[in-house]
Copies of this chain bind each other. A is one copy, B any other.
Amino acid sequence: MAIKVHGPVMSPAVMRVVATLKEKELDFELLSVNMQTGDHKKEPFISLNPFGQVPAFEDGDLKLFESRAITQYIAHTYADKGNQLLANEPKKMAIMSVWMEVESTKFDPIASKLNFELVVKPMLGMVTDDAAVTENEEKLGKILDVYESRLKDSKYLGGESFTLADLHHAPVVHYLMGTKVKSLFDARPHVKDWCADILARPAWSKALELHKQ
Contact = CB atoms under 8 A, between A and B. Distances in A.
Nearest to A94: B73
B109 A109 contact: yes
Contacts of A65: 98
B146 A97 contact: no
Interface centre among A66, A91, A102 (most CB of B within 10 A): A66
A106 interface: yes
A28 B143 CA distance: 30
B101 A69 contact: yes
B76 A98 contact: no
A105 B50 contact: no
Contact of A94 (B62, B97, B100): B62
A192 interface: no
Interface of A: 50-51, 62, 64-66, 68-70, 72-73, 76-77, 90-91, 93-95, 97-98, 100-102, 104-106, 108-109, 143, 146, 149-150
Given A62-B91, A69-B97, A104-B105, 11 more contacts: A50-B149, A62-B94, A66-B98, A69-B94, A69-B100, A70-B94, A72-B94, A73-B90, A101-B104, A105-B108, A109-B109
